[in-house]
């Protein structure tokens, strides 16, 4: 799926981000437009503010999963163990969470539809 691979919503080929998720200073950098089909990646100024809400949902999910994992795997340890585990997991997953919240924002609310004729390669 193109959203999972963080590709352009119109041609499903151009990358949405210019650098790797592991690049700590540039993981959020996006090109202004798709290098393959020219689709603008920011439909309107401030478009990605809405991605914060998707990001909140990801954070909540991460907290719940980590919280339950700590509870069951470590047999309900002291409170600070929960706090440290959730903080570390949230921090490590920040690049992924941010990138996927922007990707979903563009796919769900960007008003862009998949157009196979925009792709470089013709698929049947
Ligand atoms: Zn494209």
pLDDT tens for each residue of the chain, 124 residues long: 899 999 999 999 999 999 999 999 999 999 999 999 999 999 999 999 999 999 999 999 999 999 999 999 999 999 999 999 999 999 999 999 999 999 999 999 999 999 999 988 655 4
Asked if the structure places residue 101 within a domain, the reply is yes
Please, which residues bridge with residue 15 across strands? 7
In this structure, is residue 4 part of a structural domain?
Answer: no
| Exposed e or buried b per residue across 85-117, where buried means at least 16 C-beta atoms within 10 angstroms of its C-beta | bbeebeeebbbebbbbbbbbbbbeebebeeeee
17 falls within a domain: no
What's the CA-to-centroid distance between 121 and ligand 1, angstroms? 12
Question: How far, in Å, from the CA of 6 to the mean position of ligand 1?
Answer: 11
**Within-domain flag for 90:** yes
Cα distance between residue 44 and residue 56, in whole Å: 22
Residue 30 lies in a domain: no
Taking the CA atoms of the chain, what radius of gyration do you get in angstroms? 18
The CA 28 to ligand 1 mean position distance, Å, reads 18
Question: Structurally, how many domains does the chain consist of?
Answer: 1
Can you give the pTM of this predicted structure? 0.88
Domain extent, residue 101, equals 47-110
C-alpha 114 – ligand 1 centre gap (Å): 9
């Amino acid at each position: 799926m193109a959203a999972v691979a963080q590709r352009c919503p119109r041609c499903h080929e151009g990358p949405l981000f210019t650098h790797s998720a592991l690049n700590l200073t540039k993981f959020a950098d996006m090109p202004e437009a798709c290098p393959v089909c020219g689709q603008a990646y920011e439909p309107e100024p401030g478009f990605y503010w809405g991605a914060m809400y998707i990001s909140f949902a990801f954070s909540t999910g991460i907290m719940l999963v980590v919280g339950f994992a700590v509870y069951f795997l470590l047999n309900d340890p002291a409170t600070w163990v929960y706090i440290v585990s959730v903080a570390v997991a949230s921090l490590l997953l920040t690049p992924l969470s941010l990138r996927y919240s922007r990707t979903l924002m563009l796919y769900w609310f960007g008003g862009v539809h998949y157009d196979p004729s925009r792709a470089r390669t013709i698929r049947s």
